[in-house]
Amino acid sequence: MNYPIIVDVTLREGIADPEGATIERALPALGFTGVAHVRTGKTFRFGVEADSETDALGIAHSLAERLLSNPVIERAVARLEA
Amino acid sequence: MNYPIIVDVTLREGIADPEGATIERALPALGFTGVAHVRTGKTFRFGVEADSETDALGIAHSLAERLLSNPVIERAVARLEA
């Protein structure tokens, strides 16, 4: 069966996020106040052909760790797409 | 109150996704078979200071459309972080 997967990659706590910081600095000039702690991340959506949900998530998790993220600075979470 | 928001930015259907295509081509060489239709996206997490959930989502939606995405090629969805 084909399982739709989402991998969510976020920077670990304490790792600098220059893109988020730049967005945050730009907000007041655009009229947005009260928005803070902007953190950016990446998502990867794909289909995995597997025999079970568990197998599909296993493949997705391994893929996320090995190819889609840098485990030193990023955290990757794989889940089934709702 | 401060509401934690996630904005999910994805490419619209039919828009080319070179990053996803490159990942997909690299998969067989790394031993991943049965993974297809890789699509990439971006996420932005931030806190919004507002009087209600509806207000917070309104601010987040406007921010997502004006600053965090290109509505011509991307779709932005703002939601409260669970």
Interface of A with B in 15-74 (CB under 8 A): 20, 23-24, 26-27, 30, 32-50, 59, 62-63, 66-68
ipTM for this prediction: 0.90
Length of chain A: 82
d(CA B18, CA A3): 22
CB A61 within 8 A of CB A78: yes
Chain segment A38-62, per-residue pLDDT in tens: 999 999 999 999 999 999 999 999 9
| Residue A35 distance to chain B (closest CA, Å) | 5
Least Cα distance to A23 among B40, B9, B80 occurs for: B9
Q: How far is A45 from chain B (nearest CA, A)?
A: 5
Instruction: List pLDDT tens digits, range B41-59.
Output: 999 999 999 999 999 999 9
Q: Which residues of B touch A50 (CB under 8 A)?
A: 34
| Per-residue pLDDT at A82 | 78
Domain regions of chain A by residue span: 2-80
Architecture of domain A2-80: 2-Layer Sandwich (3.30)
pTM of the model: 0.91
